[in-house]
Chains A and B, each alone.
Chain A
Amino acid sequence: MKALRVAVAVATVMASSPPVLAASEPPPGAASCSGCHTSGAAAASSVSRLYGRNADEIMTAMTGFRDGSLPATVMNRIAKGFSDDELRAIAAWLAAQK
């Protein structure tokens, strides 16, 4: 029954909307980043733009912030709230954004 509902839901989504929704949905935590890291055109900001950045670079920075090997003001406190898997998902999503 559940499988049927899911199938119907999937069919409905496929029929009525482009696949953009599923493809662009940010993983847990990722939507918060653009409060400080611009999602728009690169602005005159001291905070780096993350959209389109290499995922490995983002991952390396986040794990460095988390274990304290990279200096930070606030990112060390934030990185500690995420597991490797979560960070990988966030990094991949940010890298895929334009």
Chain B
Amino acid sequence: MSYRISRRKFCGVGAAAVTASTFSSAFPLPAFAQAAARVVVIGGGFGGASCARALKAIDPKLQVTLVEPNKTFTACPFSNNVIAGLRSIEAQQFGYDKIAAGGVTVVAQAATAVDATARTVGLADGATLSYDRLVLSPGVDLRFDALQGYDEAAATKMPHAWKAGEQTLLLRKQLEAMGDGGLVVIAAPANPFRCPPGPYERACLIAHYLKSKKPRSKLLILDAKDTFSKQRLFQNAWKELYPGMVEWVSLSQGGKVNAVDPATNTLITDFGNHTAQVANVIPPQRAGRIAEIAGATDKTGWCAIDPVTFESKSAPNIHVIGDACLAGAMPKSAFSANAQAKVCAAAIATLLSGGTPATPKLINTCYSLAAPDYGISVAGVYQPKNGLLADVEGAGGVSPADAPREFRAREADYAQSWFSTVTAEVFG
């Protein structure tokens, strides 16, 4: 039961909130109340921040701690607009003050250890947090061991921009510096990876920039897959909006990038080399490292979960949500992470009160922009089936292929609305 953190260590990290959960005895509680259950959430993105807030909303007595080393969160959805010069990075950034003000203890430290038996989390500063239930929402780690030549140093030359922030701005700067007539190459990974439609939306929005500013330029997508999310809609948009500018090379056409040479900005496939003026290399990914430390990953590098509670199949009392988990048919999206977080929070509250969580249903909706006023979407409804989250048959799917531009404009507007609404729910 010990909570081995001193107040001193938390200076400047919301001392009032820390006091509330660390020293609950300071608050008058009814004599019959048992000690409030403790839930630690690791990762302050769409999944973790949503979950911490939802837990507190469901049961205000829970002691909820959110562990996130960054003081500012930079959102990935709409970061392709930043790359295309359509949006500022500041519009992507959110803080944790409101979450802390709602009674969640926000600890600005990296989690470095998990002891699933003792139910403790070790932090980078040496402190330890005890939990009754742990939620991991660590997002993805980029695999710097997967493509020959693509390590962290290479990413400063050939940005991935698959975690929003400095990398997003680097790719933007490179596009601005490129002369007209240059070649931009996007290397897209095999499944599964964060944001399945992301590389193709990025191709659209970069093409949107090139078309107006550098119209003789070309964009090549080298893909490790033969099919991709919203494929027909994207391919139609490339033809309709950016004729002759975007070329997609599938796996079977030799699109898989095996190695890169950052010294020359060259991407190497089985079929030849491509030297780019701007090379955006999106490498294969896996669950954030803390998931592996916690024993929650399987041999794929991702986290198998129970589809009702999101509890890890290998690490008891540890729940995994968002991009890090294997959610069956549910894609790795911010919408999914937010929806999973709320279901997971309800399940944890029920488990902590001795109940049995109800079988959930979840929804995902992912918008992509082919141009600022041209939105397309994919949606799905999911329920547990055979130990996984499966598509509810007959539901979901992508926007119609033959819709008028007014329909696309409406979906672009809904995309913006979704971002405002979800970020307000999570951080506002």
Chain A residues in the interface with B (C-beta under 8 A): 5, 8-9, 12-13, 15-17, 20-21, 24-26, 28-29, 31-40, 43, 45-47, 73-74, 77-82, 86
Bound CA–CA A79/B377 (angstroms): 15
Measured between beta carbons, the chain B residues less than 8 angstroms from A78 are 363, 365, 379, 381, 395-396
Check if A13 sits within 8 Å of B424, measured CB to CB.
Answer: no
Q: Tell me how far the C-beta of A80 lies from the nearest C-beta in chain B, rounded to whole angstroms.
A: 4
Contacts of A15 in B (CB 8 A): 32
Residues of B within 8 A of A29 (CB): 360-363, 381
The interface-forming segment of B14-22, B182-190, B275-283, B347-355 is B347-355
B361-405 interface with A by 8 A CB criterion? 361-365, 377, 379-381, 383, 392, 394-397, 399
Contacts of B362 in A (CB 8 A): 29, 31-32
Q: B148 interface residue, CB < 8 Å from A?
A: no
Report how far A10 CA is from B373 CA in the complex, Å. 53
Residues of A within 8 A of B425 (CB): 34-35, 38-40
B414 adjacent to A25 (CB under 8 Å): no
A89 to chain B, nearest CB (A): 11
Nearest-CB residue, chain B, relative to A8? B354
CA distance A32 to B383 in the complex (A): 13
Q: B residues within 8 Å of A by Cβ?
A: 32-34, 54, 58-59, 61, 335, 338-339, 342-343, 346, 349-350, 353-355, 358-365, 377, 379-381, 383, 392, 394-397, 399, 407, 410-411, 413-414, 416-418, 420-422, 424-425, 428
In the complex, what's the smallest C-beta–C-beta distance from B422 to chain A, in angstroms?
A: 5
Residues on A with C-beta less than 8 A from B383 are: 28
Residues of the B chain whose Cβ atoms lie less than 8 Å from the Cβ of A33: 363
Instruction: Say yes or no: A32 contacts B339, CB within 8 Å.
Output: yes
Interchain CA distance A5-B360 in the complex, whole Å = 23
In the complex, which residues of chain B have a beta carbon less than 8 angstroms from the beta carbon of A40?
Answer: 424-425, 428
Contact A46 to B417, CB < 8 A, known contacts A16-B32, A16-B33, A73-B411: yes
Distance between B97 CB and nearest chain A CB, rounded to angstroms = 16
Q: Taking CB as reference atom, which chain B residue is nearest A75? A: B379
**Is the Cβ of A77 less than 8 Å from the Cβ of B361?**
no
Residues of A within 8 A of B359 (CB): 28
Residue of A nearest to B367 (CB): A74
CA distance A29 to B396 in the complex (A): 14
Please state if B358 and A28 are interface contacts (CB–CB under 8 Å).
yes
Q: How far apart sit A18 and B45, CA to CA, in the bound complex (Å)?
A: 30
Task: Pick 13 A–B contacts, CB within 8 A, sort by A.
Answer: A17-B61, A25-B58, A31-B342, A35-B365, A35-B425, A38-B425, A47-B417, A73-B399, A73-B407, A74-B414, A77-B395, A78-B395, A82-B392
Whole-angstrom distance from the CB of A85 to the nearest CB of chain B?
12
For residue B379, which residues in chain A have a CB less than 8 angstroms away from its CB? Answer: 74, 77-78
Q: Is the CB–CB distance between A73 and B394 below 8 Å?
A: no
Chain A residues whose CB sits within 8 angstroms of the CB of B395 once the complex forms = 77-82
Sample of 13 further A-B pairs with CB below 8 A, known A74-B379, A81-B395: A9-B354, A17-B353, A21-B58, A21-B353, A28-B361, A35-B363, A35-B421, A73-B410, A74-B411, A80-B381, A80-B396, A81-B381, A82-B381
Most chain B beta-carbon contacts within 10 A, residue among A25, A36, A82: A36
What residue of chain A has the Cβ atom nearest to residue B59's Cβ? Answer: A21
Q: Are A77 and B396 in contact (CB under 8 A)?
A: yes
Known pairs A74-B379, A81-B381; A47 contacts B354 (CB<8 A): no
Measured between beta carbons, the chain B residues less than 8 angstroms from A86 are: 361
The 8 closest A-B pairs by CB, nearest first: A81-B381, A81-B395, A32-B363, A9-B354, A31-B342, A29-B361, A28-B361, A81-B392
Which chain A residue lies CB-closest to B392?
A: A81
Cβ contacts under 8 Å, A13 to chain B: 353-355
Smallest distance from the beta carbon of A34 to chain B beta carbons, Å?
A: 6
Q: How many Å lie between the Cα of A22 and that of B402 in the bound state? A: 45
Selected contact of A45 from candidates B59, B342, B354, B421, CB within 8 Å: B421
